[in-house]
Each structure stands twice: as structure tokens, then as C-alpha cells.
Amino acid sequence: MSAKPKLYYFAGRGKMESIRWLLAAAGVEFEEEFLETRDQYEKLLQGGSLLFQQVPMVEIDGMRMVQTRAILSYIAAKYNLYGKDLKERALIDMYVGGTDDLMGFILMFPFLSAEDKEKQRAFIVQKATSRYFPVYEKVLKDHGQDFLVGNNFSWADVHLLEAILMVEEKKPDVLSGFPQLQAFKARISSIPTIKKFLEPGSQRKPVPDEKYVETVRRVLRMYYDIKAN
């Protein structure tokens, strides 16, 4: 296996993007193998690399890891982005769980029909502004610190910034009523490793396009239509 983590996924965001974000935040270089054909996917299946017959899959430290949450937890712990004690880890898990829920509404957006996309866009913005962003706004305001947990940069901060940027792609002024989150976004975006990942030419993936959707459907044999929430 490569000394660098190696990521197996499509040439697009999906569930792998949060893994890319976390590795980049930790300053870890990684390699990627993009799945473009069904044969590539079948080869991984037949070789026993995909424990639950699904990607993302990451080769790291002599392991072939699947299950996105397990991969993220391992990376966060390995690179000291998972709090200093059990209580901080619980808070990080809780906040990451919230942003995961929000990002889940966006994950399948590219696979929707044009009509359903407009419905889902409104749904995403409504959920972000009424359920999720108010929580993080209050946390930051109440403790008055730069980061969500323990006044130290953690996985929770990385995940929240990723979620903010994803929602802003649906509504650019979505943070207009959240001054704490506006300041948070500016702070976290200026951290050198994050700043580098946000620059053109990084391994951050663009908004999914039709080519990405077509590739995923072909490789995974997705013959069904996705519906909006």
C-alpha cells in the first residue's frame, strides 16, 4: 500500500468529500483512484476490498477502511482533531452528526429532476436556517471562543465549514442572519491548511455536474430516480 492515504471514489464530491476535507485540514497529502467504469468497481468487489460492497474506501496505515464515519473518526483521532477527552469527543460527535444530517439533504441533490431540485433547494435552506445554523450560532455566541469545542481546532469545525459552503452554493446570502457563523467562516477559512484546500487546483471537488451523475449511475447501476425530501 502507498505511504500516503489512497482514496477510492468517483471524481466528485459525494461521501468522499468530507474525507478529503479532513485530510487536507490535517495537512496530509493523499492520492486518489477515480472509479470511472463498472469493471473497476467489480474488481474492488471481487478482491474483497469493499467490506460492505460500497465506496468510499480508503487505504491508510495498512488498512482498507470503508464506512465514511469510521474513516473520518480514525483520521480525526490520528491527527489530533478529536478533542482532548471523552466529553470533548462526545461534543464533536454531536456537532458532526448535526452537520452530517444537513449535508445529507444536499448529497443527492445532483440526482434530482429539475423540478425536484427547486423544491429541495428551498428545503435545504429552510432546514439550515431554522434547525442547524441556529445551534452553531448559539454555541459560538455562548462560549465566545474561536472554535466549537474546547477552543481548539477540531473535526467539528472542518465539517461545519464544509456544510456552510455547501449551503451557500444553494443560497449565497444564507448566513446573513448569523453573525457568529460569518466570523467563524472567515476564521476557519484562513487556517493555512484550509486556505490551501480552498484555493484553485486543490483536490477539493467542484459542484457535481451531469458527467459526475452519469458516472455514478453507470458504475453503481443506479436505474431508479431519486426523489426530493
- State the CATH number of the domain containing residue 60: 3.40.30.10
Would residue 139 count as lying in a domain?
A: yes
Given this model, what pLDDT does residue 227 score? 72
Q: Dihedrals φ, ψ of 185, to 5°?
A: -55, -45
Residues 64 and 102 in one domain: no
Q: Which residues pair with 80 in a beta bridge?
A: none
Asked, as a colleague might, if the bond just before 134 is cis with ω within 30 of 0, I would say: no
Residues 60 and 134 in one domain: no
CA-to-CA separations, 213 to 34, 39, 58, 208, 221, in angstroms, rounded: 14, 18, 22, 7, 11
CA-to-CA separations, 126 to 131, 171, 177, in angstroms, rounded: 8, 11, 13
Would residue 116 count as lying in a domain?
A: yes
Q: Dihedrals φ, ψ of 152, to 5°?
A: -130, 145
Closest-CA residue to 90 (of 164, 148, 48): 148
Residues 91 and 172 in one domain: yes
Cβ contacts of residue 89 below 8 Å, gap of 6+? 82, 83
Given this model, what pLDDT does residue 222 score? 82
Would residue 228 count as lying in a domain?
A: no
- Residue 10, classed as helix, strand or coil, is coil
Which residues of the chain fall short of a pLDDT of 70?
1-2, 223-226
Residues 157 and 105 in one domain: yes
Cβ contacts of residue 16 below 8 Å, gap of 6+? 7, 9, 10, 55, 56, 68
Residues 112 and 185 in one domain: yes
Q: Give the torsion sign (CA, 77, 81, 82, 87).
A: positive
Are residues 28 and 80 in contact, defined by beta-carbon separation less than 8 angstroms?
no
Given this model, what pLDDT does residue 184 score? 98
Give the amino acid at 9.
Y
DSSP state of 121: H
Closest-CA residue to 110 (of 2, 9, 206, 1): 206
Residues 123 and 92 in one domain: yes
Residues 70 and 154 in one domain: no
Residue 207 cell numbers, joined:
459542484
Would residue 226 count as lying in a domain?
A: no
Residues 178 and 162 in one domain: yes
DSSP state of 32: E
Q: Dihedrals φ, ψ of 63, to 5°?
A: -115, 155
Domain that holds residue 68: 6-79+198-220
Would residue 229 count as lying in a domain?
A: no
Whose cell is 442572519? That residue is 177
Residues 102 and 181 in one domain: yes
Residues 112 and 180 in one domain: yes
CATH code at 182?
1.20.1050.10
Residues 73 and 127 in one domain: no
Please count the structural domains in the chain.
2
Helix (H) / strand (E) containing 57: strand 57-60
Would residue 227 count as lying in a domain?
A: no
Largest CA distance in the chain: 52
Residues 115 and 207 in one domain: no
Given this model, what pLDDT does residue 223 score? 67
